[in-house]
Amino acid sequence: MRITEVCNAWVVYRMTLHDNTVAGNVVCEQREWDAIEAARPGFHTLLHTGLKTEQEAEKLARSTSGDTPPRVSKKKVAKPVVPE
């Protein structure tokens, strides 16, 4: 029988590369973050913690991922009639 783990919390952190440049935002499980932080304390920046779903974490990591795009009115602008 296969044992399935359930993730109870997700985190978003900003990854730092070896030359101290920022690579981008990353999503992982809380237990993975704990291992990353234990290996190199303070190297990466924790942005959000305790998120309930991976989708919520992805949305925060990408800022607007999954948002419905705003509706744009397609009103036609009348061109002014120029007398000749």
pLDDT tens digit sequence for 64-79: 545 566 677 776 666 7
Q: What are 27's strand-pairing partners? A: 12
| 13 pLDDT more than 60 | yes
Rounded CA gap, 60 and 62, in Å?
5
Mean per-residue pLDDT, 43-61: 93
55: how many CB neighbours lie within 10 A of its CB? Answer: 13
What pLDDT is stored for residue 34 in this prediction?
A: 96
Q: What is the DSSP string of the chain?
A: ---------EEEEEEE-TTS-EEEEEEEEHHHHHHHHHHSTTTSEEEEEEES-HHHHHHHHHSSTTPPPPP---PPPPPPPPP-
Position 22 scores a pLDDT of 86
pTM tops 0.75, yes or no:
no
Q: To the nearest whole percent, how much of the chain has pLDDT over 70?
A: 79
